[in-house]
């Protein structure tokens, strides 16, 4: 089924999103991308998903082809974005997958709202992780904006950065690299990144996050072993999946395995819903 490109207004911001139409009787599946990325990271998932659900993948404000947020792009802001994005489309219940920063957004949303049926946190962002020196520089007022404006990013440099995030570089298609390049060279990312890095991190109340699945790569340097241990201690009801020969993007690196995990979580949520739990 064809992937459709659409636009809507959310919190006063022109928002672009990808949609794969599905059975209107099924609750939608929301896909949230990570930091400095876009809905394009989900294109292969959208193309190959066997799920009957309508699937929605927005460009979070400041990313992809969406406009800049009108306020500080904090986790709480993006939680409100998710609420209003889905509410504007007429949905109050949904399932969701969040990658990296998108996983952190979902975790906060799940802790505050009882409206997610099945939730998969893919390589969720560490709310206590150390900020690299480069990110701290880019987040500095004035200096950060100047650095981003004149940073000599080339396709070759970008490709090397993208390759660091996967175990096998060959999984990065030409389309994926080109979409990433367009996001940085044509989208709002250059001005959004310094804004986002200036926002003080909010601690996530992981113990309040409802039942979910956590999927990560064994070789991922972003999701540290220390953070994994903290998640396992806090998310007592969660299912954990560690994929070998995999770094930060499991749905791209091991698509068949990832689809199976998503299907399992959707089935589990459906059974729980029938039992009224």
- Three-state secondary structure string covering 215-274: EEECCCCCCCHHHHHHHHHHCCCCEEEEECCCCCCHHHHCHHHHHHHHHHHHHHHHHHHH
| Contact predicate 20/42, CB 8 Å | no
Residue 2 has pLDDT above 60, yes or no: yes
Q: Is 0.85 surpassed by the pTM of this model?
A: yes
Closest CA to 254 of 207, 224, 208, 219: 219
Confidence of residue 273 (pLDDT cuts 50, 70, 90): confident
Backbone φ, ψ for residue 243 (5° rounding): -100, 130
Cα–Cα dist 237/199, whole Å: 31
8-state DSSP, 3: P
Q: Is 110 helix (H, G, I), strand (E, B) or coil?
A: helix
CA angle 224, 127, 59 (to 5 degrees): 100
**pLDDT computed for residue 120 by the predictor:** 98
- pLDDT average, residue stretch 12-25: 96
15-24, 152-161, 181-190 — most confident range: 15-24
- With a CB cutoff of 8 Å and minimum separation 6, the contacts of 78 are 60, 105
For the segment 168-220, what is each residue's pLDDT rounded down to a tens digit?
999 999 999 999 999 988 889 888 988 888 877 778 999 999 999 999 999 99
Cα–Cα dist 44/101, whole Å: 19
- pLDDT average, residue stretch 69-81: 94
- pLDDT average, residue stretch 47-53: 95
Please state, rounded to an integer, the average pLDDT across all residues of the chain: 91
- pLDDT average, residue stretch 49-78: 96
- pLDDT average, residue stretch 141-146: 65
**pLDDT computed for residue 12 by the predictor:** 97
Residue 149 has pLDDT above 80, yes or no: no
**pLDDT computed for residue 253 by the predictor:** 98
For the segment 123-135, what is each residue's pLDDT rounded down to a tens digit?
999 876 666 655 5
- pLDDT average, residue stretch 11-35: 96
Which CATH architecture fits 4-128+203-275? Answer: 3-Layer(aba) Sandwich (3.40)
**pLDDT computed for residue 148 by the predictor:** 66
Portion of the chain with pLDDT greater than 70, in percent: 90
**pLDDT computed for residue 142 by the predictor:** 61
Cα–Cα dist 250/88, whole Å: 30
Residue 269 has pLDDT above 80, yes or no: yes
For the segment 206-244, what is each residue's pLDDT rounded down to a tens digit?
999 999 999 999 999 888 899 999 999 999 889 999 999
**pLDDT computed for residue 205 by the predictor:** 93
């Amino acid at each position: 089924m064809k992937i459709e490109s659409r636009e809507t207004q959310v919190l006063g911001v022109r928002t672009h999103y990808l949609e794969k139409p599905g059975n209107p009787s099924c609750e939608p599946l929301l896909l949230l991308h990570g930091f400095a990325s876009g809905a394009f990271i989900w294109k292969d998932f959208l193309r190959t998903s066997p799920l009957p659900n309508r699937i929605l993948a927005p460009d979070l404000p400041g990313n992809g082809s969406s406009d800049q947020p009108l306020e500080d792009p904090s986790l709480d802001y993006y939680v409100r974005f998710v609420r209003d994005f889905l509410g504007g489309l007429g949905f109050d219940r949904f399932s969701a997958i969040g990658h990296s920063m998108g996983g952190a957004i979902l975790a906060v949303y799940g802790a505050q709202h009882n409206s997610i049926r099945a939730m998969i946190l893919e390589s969720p962002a560490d709310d206590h992780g150390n900020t690299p020196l480069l990110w701290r520089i880019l987040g500095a007022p004035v200096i950060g904006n100047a650095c981003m404006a004149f940073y000599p990013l080339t396709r070759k440099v970008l490709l090397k950065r993208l390759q660091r995030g996967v175990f096998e570089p060959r999984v990065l298609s030409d389309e994926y690299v080109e979409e990433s390049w367009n996001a940085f060279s044509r989208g709002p990312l250059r001005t959004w990144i310094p804004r986002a890095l200036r926002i003080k991190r909010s601690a996530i109340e992981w113990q309040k996050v409802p039942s979910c699945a956590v999927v990560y790569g064994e070789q991922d340097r972003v999701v540290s072993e220390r953070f994994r241990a903290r998640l396992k201690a806090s998310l007592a009801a969660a299912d954990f999946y560690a994929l070998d020969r995999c770094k930060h993007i499991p749905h791209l690196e091991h698509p068949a395995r990832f689809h199976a995990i998503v299907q399992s979580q959707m089935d589990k949520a459906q059974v729980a819903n029938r039992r009224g739990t």
